[in-house]
Homo-oligomer: A and B are copies of this chain.
Amino acid sequence: MDKKDRQFHTFRGYQIIKQEKTRLTPGMEDYLEMIYRHCRNEGYVRIVQLSELLNVQAPSVTRTVQRLAESGLVDYEKYGLVKLTEEGERIGQILLERHILIENFLGKIGVRDTLLRDTEMIEHNISVEALRSIEFFNNYLDDNPHILKGFEEYKRSRGC
């Protein structure tokens, strides 16, 4: 592990370190994940659809899609359809799986109303190690359903 990984950093500081390694900003991840979700079913997606799905304005989408194209993750030319490259498909799938993993986990421990938002906020910056821990823990909980049953009971008994 890098030396600087062991020191404290600000939120922004960690983002910068991560980005140096992956060349994918949180924003690009957001877009790529959504493109993947949509292209899985439809094969392509349009700028305006993305802008609705992501709740941002079209110019923000254009710019980010252009960046993803430069990075070789989507095929896109002006006024055309947004499609994934093989590499984009591969990474998009990883991003979506990560999203689902975190969402499942938060759901298990009782997050409801803010599930989407919390998942979104956590997924882009979490480490591989933490992700693996969550995955293991998820599996453990699935294989031992009495634990979450006990948790529900525990919450009820404390008037939650």
On A, residues with C-beta under 8 Å from B are: 1, 4-14, 26-27, 29-31, 34, 53-56, 106, 109-114, 116-118, 120-122, 124-127, 129-130, 133-134, 136-137, 140, 143-144, 147, 150-151, 154-155, 158, 160
- When all copies of this chain in the complex are counted, the total is 2
A105 to chain B, nearest CB (A): 9
Known: A10-B55, A111-B133, A147-B147. 13 other contacts (CB 8 A): A5-B113, A5-B117, A7-B55, A9-B54, A9-B55, A10-B26, A11-B30, A11-B124, A13-B54, A13-B55, A109-B133, A122-B122, A136-B158
A-B complex: 8 closest residue pairs judged by Cβ atoms:
A121-B125, A114-B127, A110-B133, A11-B26, A10-B30, A118-B130, A109-B137, A114-B129
Please name all residues of chain B whose beta carbon is closer than 8 Å to the beta carbon of A4 when the two chains form the complex: 55
Please name all residues of chain B whose beta carbon is closer than 8 Å to the beta carbon of A113 when the two chains form the complex: 1, 5, 129
Q: Could you give 18 example pairs across A and B, Cβ below 8 Å?
A: A7-B55, A8-B34, A8-B54, A9-B55, A9-B117, A10-B120, A11-B120, A11-B121, A109-B133, A110-B133, A110-B136, A114-B129, A114-B130, A118-B129, A136-B160, A137-B151, A140-B150, A140-B151
